[in-house]
Amino acid sequence: MKPICPTCQRTLPKPKVIAAVSHEADMSEADLFTYYKRIAPQADLEFLFHRASDTLRAEIRAALAHPNARTVRRLYDLWRVERFTADRAAGIPQVGSPAWFAEQGRVIPEHDPDWTSRVMVEGGSDAEV
């Protein structure tokens, strides 16, 4: 028997029963996609937690209560800035910079004649200098 709304006495749809799947191998492809999409922010924060500094870990610990993609992106950006700052202080050149090419013993790409007017920004996008 289907449940009935106590207010209007309409028949309500039968609630879906979500079966607990004990192992990922038992899941269909659609179920796996849904499962991974749901747990991705949590997994990303756990990954980041083990690599972040103590100051950033406090924020990550707070974000683990209600993880979402926007928070994960913001915390990853903070971590990258922190990590890149430490790399530059240690004398590690930025990937794609002239110093990096010299250190790698590589020549600067000829397919981009305008490479000197651009530099790879620490966030991963190109920006004009």
What's the pLDDT at 121? 46
What's the pLDDT at 128? 43
Phi and psi, residue 56, nearest 5°: -75, -30
Residue 14 lies in a domain: no
Identify whether the C-beta of residue 82 lies closer than 8 Å to the C-beta of residue 56.
yes
What's the pLDDT at 97? 80
CA–CA separation, 39 and 67 (whole Å): 9
Give tens-digit pLDDT for 22-65: 577 788 888 888 888 888 899 999 999 998 989 899 999 999 98
Give tens-digit pLDDT for 74-85: 999 999 888 888
Residue 94 lies in a domain: yes
CA–CA separation, 61 and 90 (whole Å): 28
Residue of 90, 101, 94, 98 lying closest to 123 (CA atoms)? 94
Residue 56 lies in a domain: yes
The tally of domains found in the chain comes to: 1
Residue 118 lies in a domain: no
Q: Look up the domain containing 66 and give its range.
A: 37-105
DSSP three-state, residue 119: strand
